[in-house]
Structure 1
């Protein structure tokens, strides 16, 4: 079965079939869907070698670049969050390299709903959708997904199930633990906000628990989290606007954390937020003199903080690669088997956790 045979069956020109199989914006959406279903029914599939060669042919005329949608739900999200700004830069750069342009759509705009946004994207023939990290979550986002190829960055949107780009949280914790052991730290403490426990599905806690399993009981330090964490450590389906208890910017009580660290005589604290460092110092904790400090999100820091760089630009770039790959294969709609791509992060050495001589504390 080739394009000309398929065109005869469909009763259209072979050029129309070619455009329909590529979801060309010059054709009505219904025509594209009808011809694509017919192609599937009759067993048509593009030849992979020919498709690859066609992508390398020079363009005779400059066509308007198709758009990809970046969906946000965070007030002034790029200015307020340098992490998100780097994600967007990675998306924008990679989209341009692949011949696309990126358009941002905010669910916080006046009168904006998931249904209205679906209509806007459909009218503009935008099929590729990247769901950027939300400030609150986990949430549900009910677009008319049958028209779109969707990819989520992070875990703030957990329903419906989409393809996803995410840091490898479990590996990141193991990386931090390995580096701290190499630097000579023994009593390693972990403090997390409820929001990060939900968004990581307790991957940080799981990796930390694996590390603590092999320690003598007297050297184990329980994970610190705020009081409401006990009922929120498992993801729950929520409406579009989640409650503030799972705000990504919500912080732990620094005075309580400082007291807990002293109680357990910790050598070093691992925390999920770089800004927590200043709050702990204001609470009277001497860092790194009294206790060392490591951030699990050390992508942006105003000083040389030790910790994990989550590589947000690479996350944005990977999201573009994933969504465009699905567009090229004409894979719109919710996936039967969502793919999760976990990106490797890296350790950033800093002044808050420096090498120390191994010492043995009295019990």
Structure 2
């Protein structure tokens, strides 16, 4: 069986130095165009495959500040309205990813895609990743769906988060929105709530492919009339819409994102949690202490890093033929906005006379 082509074997074949071969394969302008073309053609014909981990290591060694470095994993977010600022949830995802990467001998670097600097175009991002020898990328959970069909994945091990790439389909890490909501409603029922109301902006539900509302409604499938309180899912939530819904259906606990709901209840002389409870879907972004779902952004970021590193060690890159998803369960987080769980009463037995 013939040995796989290497930079050294290509150099011997073409009568060039290994440095020239390396630069040519990186499409460096330091090498004449005709030489680059000759080297790259010979590499293709010989079946040469770049080792992403080795390339990243050599790139790091050339930059002495990265002593002990095994590779870099790029974290990519999209600048909305030219803002390059991570949301609270994304900040925690990045912290979890960075910590796990360090444990595995890697580092992370954040990149922005957008129209104006410091954000990069998709093409420019490709060039920067290649030039820096960055073999793995995690696409953070974008606020809006993005099309990255112009991105060259051929030499990249990539993982997406939250199915926010409309094109292409990658391996994905995400919270289990459906089951997390399903379990939350079950636990709220265990706390004694009987009229559970879901209150969301439509974009929040649409962003997760309506898994919040689907998980909520799944708890009431066996009830002939459905949920006692129909969900309020509005394009824009405001005090008037909320007040009309609340007065009509009288939920005893409200599940949603915005804690402004508590202010609206207080304006109606409703106390939280004495009269009505509030349960926040994502406690990472809470403005005040409250009960809710911890979507575990640290674990999501760490899991995404583990997935990319595993792909690198398996020498997997490009768009997967069969994309896979890893779902992370949220956990219940107690707080002062709901009443304590009701404990079952002890059964009484009559004394014999």
The residue number in structure 1 matching 2:196 is 188
The residue number in structure 2 matching 1:71 is 76
Query: Structure 1, unaligned stretches of length 5 or more?
Result: 17-24, 40-60, 228-250, 359-363
1:321 to 294, 301, 306: 306
The residue number in structure 1 matching 2:229 is 221
**1:202/1:13 CA distance change after superposition, 3 Å:** same
Q: Does 1:159 align with 2:160?
A: no
Q: Give the deviation of 1:152 after TM superposition.
A: 1.2
Q: Is the 8 Å Cα contact of residues 89 and 284 (structure 2) preserved in structure 1?
A: yes
Query: Structure 2, unaligned stretches of length 5 or more?
Result: 13-21, 27-39, 50-65, 344-353
With normalisation by structure 2, the TM-score equals: 0.74
Q: Is the 8 Å Cα contact of residues 72 and 107 (structure 1) preserved in structure 2?
A: yes
Aligned ranges for residues 257-296 of structure 1 at < 5 Å? 257-271=242-256, 273-281=257-265, 284=268, 286-296=271-281
Aligned ranges for residues 1-363 of structure 1 at < 5 Å? 5-7=2-4, 28=25, 34=44, 37=47, 62-74=67-79, 75-78=83-86, 81-108=87-114, 109-110=116-117, 112-135=120-143, 137-142=144-149, 143-217=151-225, 220-227=228-235, 252-271=237-256, 273-281=257-265, 284=268, 286-355=271-340
**1:219/1:195 CA distance change after superposition, 3 Å:** closer
Q: Is the 8 Å Cα contact of residues 168 and 342 (structure 1) preserved in structure 2?
A: yes
Partners of 1:326 and 1:87 in 2: how far apart? 20
Please provide the CA RMSD for this pair: 3.1
Q: Give the deviation of 1:172 after TM superposition.
A: 0.5
Q: Secondary structure at the match of 2:94?
A: helix
Larger radius of gyration: 2
Partners of 2:125 and 2:276 in 1: how far apart? 49
Partners of 1:36 and 1:252 in 2: how far apart? 61
Q: Give the deviation of 1:278 after TM superposition.
A: 4.8
Partners of 2:177 and 2:226 in 1: how far apart? 27
Which stretch has the larger CA shift, 302-311 or 280-289?
A: 280-289
Q: Is the 8 Å Cα contact of residues 255 and 280 (structure 1) preserved in structure 2?
A: no
Q: Is the 8 Å Cα contact of residues 172 and 296 (structure 1) preserved in structure 2?
A: no
Partners of 2:136 and 2:74 in 1: how far apart? 6
Which stretch has the larger CA shift, 211-220 or 195-204?
A: 211-220
Q: Give the deviation of 1:258 after TM superposition.
A: 2.9
**1:301/1:205 CA distance change after superposition, 3 Å:** closer
